[in-house]
Structure 1
Amino acid sequence: MSSSSPHEKMSPIELRATAGLAGIYGLRMLGMFIILPVFAFYAEHLPGGSNYTLVGIALGAYGLTQAVLQIPFGWLSDRFGRKPVIYVGLILFAVGSFIAASATDIYGVIFGRIIQGAGAISAAVMALAADLTREEHRTKAMAAIGMTIGATFALSLIIAPALNRLIGVPGIFVMTGVLALVAMTVVSRIVPDPVISRFHSDTEASVGRFGNVLRDPQLLRLDFGVFALHAVLMALWLVVPLSLRTAGLAADHHWQVYLPVLLVSMIMIIPAIIYGEKKAKLKQIFVISIAVLLVSQVLLAYTSDSLWGTATALLVFFAAFNLLEATLPSLISKIAPVGAKGTAIGIYSSVQFLGAFVGATAGGYLYQHHGSSALFAFCGILLALWLVFAATMKAPAAVRTRMYHVQEMDTGKASGLSRQLAALPGVHEALVLASEGVAYLKVDMSGFDEQGVVQLLGGEA
Structure 2
Amino acid sequence: FMLSLLIGPIVTVNFGISGLFWVIAILSVLALLIVVFLPNAKPRAQYPLSISNFKKILSSDLLRLDLSVFSLHLILTCAFIVMPLLLVNNNIIEIKDNWQMYLPVMILSFIGMLPIIILAEKFNKPKAMLLVSIGVLIVSQILFYNTKLNYTSFFVIMTVFFVAFNALEAMLPSILSRTATSDKRGLAMGMFSTSQFFGAFVGGVFGGLIYNNFGLNSVFLFTTFIAIIWWVIMLTMKQQN
Matching residue within 145, 162, 173 for 1:301: 145
Pairwise CA distance, 1:307: 2.4
Match of 1:236 in 2: 79
Pairwise CA distance, 1:305: 3.6
**Does 2:22 correspond to 1:169?**
no
CA distance in 2, matches of 1:240, 1:200: 45
For residues 394-439 of structure 1, the C-alpha deviation after alignment (integer angstroms, 9 at most, x for no partner) is 1011xxxxxxxxxxxxxxxxxxxxxxxxxxxxxxxxxxxxxxxxxx
The 1:288/1:355 distance shift into structure 2, 3 A limit, reads: same
Q: Which structure is larger by alpha-carbon Rg, 1 or 2? A: 1
For residues 303-351 of structure 1, the C-alpha deviation after alignment (integer angstroms, 9 at most, x for no partner) is 3642222221110100000000000011111111232111111111111
CA distance in 2, matches of 1:265, 1:352: 21
- One-letter amino acid matched to 1:288: V
Identity %: 38
CA distance in 1, matches of 2:143, 2:22: 36
SS of 1:333's partner is helix
**Does 2:240 correspond to 1:393?**
no
TM-score w.r.t. length of structure 1: 0.49
- How many residues are paired up? 240
- One-letter amino acid matched to 1:178: I
Q: Contact 1:228 / 1:383 at 8 angstroms: preserved in 2?
A: yes
Pairwise CA distance, 1:225: 1.0
**Does 2:8 correspond to 1:160?**
yes
**Residue ranges of structure 2 left out of the alignment (5+ in a row):** none
Match of 2:167 in 1: 323
Q: Contact 1:234 / 1:356 at 8 angstroms: preserved in 2?
A: yes
Q: CA RMSD in A?
A: 2.0
Matching residue within 174, 186, 191 for 2:38: 191
Match of 2:186 in 1: 342
Pairwise CA distance, 1:392: 1.9
CA distance in 1, matches of 2:49, 2:4: 29
Match of 1:220 in 2: 63
Moved more, 274-283 or 225-234: 274-283
For residues 106-145 of structure 1, the C-alpha deviation after alignment (integer angstroms, 9 at most, x for no partner) is xxxxxxxxxxxxxxxxxxxxxxxxxxxxxxxxxxxxxxxx
TM-score w.r.t. length of structure 2: 0.92
- One-letter amino acid matched to 1:273: I
For residues 158-184 of structure 1, the C-alpha deviation after alignment (integer angstroms, 9 at most, x for no partner) is 111211122112111112212323344
CA distance in 2, matches of 1:205, 1:279: 36
The 1:285/1:187 distance shift into structure 2, 3 A limit, reads: closer
Match of 2:129 in 1: 285
CA distance in 1, matches of 2:160, 2:73: 16
Runs of 4+ more than 3 Å apart: 182-188, 195-201, 204-208
CA distance in 1, matches of 2:87, 2:28: 31
